[in-house]
Amino acid sequence: MNTASATHFSKLTRRTVPVGLILVMLLIPGAGRTEPDAEDVGGKNRIAEELYNRGYRVSLLGYYEQAIRYFEKSLEIHPTAEAYTYMGWTYSHMGDYQRAITEAEEAIRIDPDFGNPYNDIGVYLMELDRDDEAVPYLKKAMHAKRYCCYQFPHFNIGRIYLKKKMYEEAKQEFDKSLAIDPKYLPAKVALELLEKAGIKGI
pTM for this model (two decimals)? 0.78
Give the pLDDT confidence of 74-92 residue by residue, as tens digits.
999 999 999 999 999 999 9
* Predicted pLDDT of residue 24: 39
pLDDT value of residue 68:
97
Q: Which helix (H) or strand (E) holds 192?
A: helix 185-196
Domain boundaries, the chain: 4-148, 150-202
More confident residue, 157 or 30: 157
Confidence tier at 15 by pLDDT (50, 70, 90): very low
- Residues 173 and 154: beta-carbon distance below 8 Å: yes
**Percent of the chain surpassing pLDDT 90:** 73
* Cβ burial 108-128 (10 Å sphere, 16+ → b, else e): bebbeebbbbbbbbbbbbbee
pLDDT at res. 22: 45
Top-confidence residue, 111 or 43: 111
Average pLDDT in the 63-72 region?
A: 96
pLDDT value of position 198 = 78
pLDDT digits (tens, 9 = 90+) for 121-164: 999 999 999 999 999 999 999 999 999 999 999 999 999 999 99
Class of domain 4-148: mainly alpha
The pLDDT value given to residue 126: 97
Mean per-residue pLDDT over the chain, rounded: 84
pLDDT of 108 above 50: yes
Q: How high is the pLDDT of residue 69? A: 96
